[in-house]
Amino acid sequence: MTQPRTCLVTGASRGIGAAVAARLSADGHRVALLGRDVVSLDSVRARLPGEGMAVTADVTDPAQVAAAVDLVERDWGPVEVLVSNAGAGVGAPLVETSDEDWARMLELNLTAPFRLVRRVLPGMVEAGWGRIVVVASVVAKHGEAQVAAYTAAKHGVLGLVRAAAAEVARTGVTVNAVCPGYVDTPMTDTTVEAIAARTGRSPDEARALLARRQPIGRLIDPAEVAEAVAFCLVNGAVTGQGINVDGGTVQS
């Protein structure tokens, strides 16, 4: 059995974050769940097989994030594993993307992970062991129409991962990204609704359209993303990588 670690998972109230929390808990780690919805966080925590903690914070609020990490450290000690998963997208043609949407996408999907990594990295380096995994996206690897701001932010966060990994490569700390395709989550449900509204397709037709975009012909299961995150914890030779979990969409 692997040594139990103190883990912090953001965006843990549903979807990929909840699946990651469940997997890490099943592997024997204690997991702090961070999100904005305390009711949903408590529901996820109640289903964990091991020790869990629910911490409410908006990752785009630096003071809330600092207080949340302080709380975890006070009760459990330094964060040894960070899974920066919280994120969201916005769909619009580039020429219709507002400054506000652009700024929001960068703040949530790039700046918030940066602040989290910056906060927990010193403790990991001091301990000589740590794992950071950022949940990016397949669009960190290629451009996609109608999501320019989201794509730019995810490209940026992959650059952050690579730079951080290079800085700490000799310290025992690894930094990786997991890059999912379309996953069967509430976030994809929102995308399905937007496609249906824009094209006149039914929700089932819109969902099937997204499934067909991936060579395997289906949506990714959140547990499959969680499996990739778990791999990053146990393999210390893998760092600075963007691990695709996209059904073969991007071959690299």
Mean pLDDT over residues 125-136, rounded? 98
User: Does residue 107 carry a pLDDT above 90?
Assistant: yes
The position carrying tokens 């769940």 is 33
The position carrying tokens 């911490």 is 55
150 is an active site residue: yes
pLDDT of res. 188: 78
Contacts of 168 (CB under 8 A, 6+ apart): 121, 124, 125, 130, 175
Task: Specify whether the CB–CB gap between 217 and 116 falls below 8 A.
Answer: no
Task: Tell me the chain's radius of gyration from C-alpha atoms.
Answer: 17
**Segment 184-196, tens digit of pLDDT:** 877 777 777 777 7
As a whole number of angstroms, the distance between CA 81 and CA 229 comes to 10
Q: Which has the closest alpha carbon to 215: 180, 249, 252, 181?
A: 249
Mean pLDDT (the chain, rounded): 94
User: Does residue 1 carry a pLDDT above 70?
Assistant: no
Entry pTM:
0.93
Domains along the sequence of the chain with CATH = 6-180+221-245 (3.40.50.720), 184-219 (no CATH)
As a whole number of angstroms, the distance between CA 152 and CA 64 comes to 25
Task: Specify whether the CB–CB gap between 12 and 35 falls below 8 A.
Answer: yes
Catalytic residue among 150, 175, 182, 245: 150
